[in-house]
Structure 1
Amino acid sequence: MIENEAAFASSGEHAYRRIRTDIVFGRLKPGQRLVLDRMRPAYGVSIPTLREILSRLAAEKLVTAEGQRGFQVCDCSADDLREIAELRLLLESSALRSSFAAGDVEWEARCVAAHHKLGHVEQRLGSGQDPSLEQWKRYDFEFHNALVSACGSRALLDLHAGVYDRYLRYQMVFGVFRGGVAAQEHRGLLDAALARQINNAIEILQRHINACIDAVLSKGL
């Protein structure tokens, strides 16, 4: 019985991760209605489990519940993007301050390693190669997360991760890739971290985020 319950929980968690990834990477479109009967065979879980998953995603602001009409993917808007970007900048700046103050040599090593992986993927993208979007953005998150990982607050890191994914969804839905400019900003963030130049890091981060907003809005949002 315990094994069956564990398998059920595992399949539900796997379906949750798949649906969440499909929303963040735009495979489930903004405003799309999520019809449970159609989703059940695609994600391999029961309708009650799907309801639980979509309720969980609604709490994360990736899905909206429409009462008796069911669920749909959260729509996109310029105001929502600006609000999410402002929240990301607020959370990440606060976490950077604490992380820069408390970071030790192990933290520095995490930042350097995360940047090495991200830089490798950015070089491949810049030369016309095509690594997976999931890999690119996983490494992007790992780098930003490494920078704030010494902040000392699990709650702050969890909040930042959730907001990061909502922000990422706009990049993926609108196909934003800023190439070498973004790579230079990442390098600048690493250099600022190793030198503990917090004001410089926050200035680069603000430029990094605002440029993404401009890029999305230029796509016609």
Structure 2
Amino acid sequence: MSETIFVKHEEGGSIAEKVLRRIRFDIITNTLKPGDRLRLERLRETYGASVSTLREILNRLAAETFVVAEGNRGFGVAQISQSDLRDVCEMRLLLECHALRRSIAVGTIDWEARVVSCHHKLHSVESRLIGGDEALVMQWVQYDWDFHHATVMACDRPVLNATHSNIFGRYMRYHLNVLDFRGRPAADEHARLRDLVVGRDADAAVALLTSHVTAGMEHIISSGKIPA
């Protein structure tokens, strides 16, 4: 998956890959909502792919758990729940903490610069959100991904990186279902994480990341918008 999860029309790849990215994007951003039936004829009209290609795509998305196969009823968008969110967060931490340690161990100065640059954009949006500009929440979710991805992008384990991207996409789906920013505590944690990562303090960075992701999860649950 591209680092820019929110890119709906990404260059490159086959028609099937492009349609796969578009449908995944629409699920993550709740254009296709939890529980929606995915009727092949309607999808064919919307995404311009053949029924056989769409069936292949939906099977791939089912393997990624964005979609569920409903036997003879076809496919539907996977439901969301508090228990699933907790499971996703546990897996995110397992993968991201490992990738963060590896990146801190092998990252170059160019990697450090990328972390700082991505945090600068994130901080800019967070400052405006704290100032009351709530219309920027979706952009904040994108920049939050960009920053967290930057901290682990030096990890030289392709399978780990791809799995982490998938899990982060599932986590973002919850963020975008709630569309609420945790406020200054989250912004302060991002700034400290930047400093710890660039300072190569792996133990402290992992500890902060763990508390940061856990607090974000609890904030999403406390919104009351995620079914038990």
Q: Tell me the TM-score normalized by structure 2.
A: 0.86
* Structure 2 partner of 1:70: 74
SS at match of 1:30: coil
* Structure 2 partner of 1:184: 188
Residues 164-183 of structure 1: pairs in structure 2 closer than 5 A: 164-183=168-187
CA shift for structure 1 position 119: 1.6
CA distance in 2, matches of 1:169, 1:176: 12
Residues 92-171 of structure 1: pairs in structure 2 closer than 5 A: 92-129=96-133, 130-131=135-136, 133=138, 135-171=139-175
SS at match of 1:64: strand
The answer for unaligned runs of 5 or more in structure 1 is 1-8
Rg larger in structure: 1
For the 8 Å contact 2:129–2:137, the answer to whether it is kept is: no
Question: CA-to-partner distance for each residue in 1:75-117, whole Å, 9 max, x for gaps?
Answer: 1122111111011111111111111111221111111111112
For the 8 Å contact 1:176–1:212, the answer to whether it is kept is: no
Aligned residues: 212
Identity of aligned residues (%): 48
Q: Which has the higher helix share?
A: 1
For the 8 Å contact 2:196–2:202, the answer to whether it is kept is: yes
CA distance in 2, matches of 1:136, 1:35: 32
* Structure 2 partner of 1:5: none
SS at match of 2:186: helix
CA shift for structure 1 position 188: 1.0
SS at match of 1:167: helix
CA distance in 1, matches of 2:152, 2:163: 12
CA shift for structure 1 position 128: 3.3
* Structure 2 partner of 1:3: none
The answer for unaligned runs of 5 or more in structure 2 is 1-12
Q: Tell me the TM-score normalized by structure 1.
A: 0.89
For the 8 Å contact 1:81–1:167, the answer to whether it is kept is: yes
Runs of 4+ with deviation above 4 angstroms: none
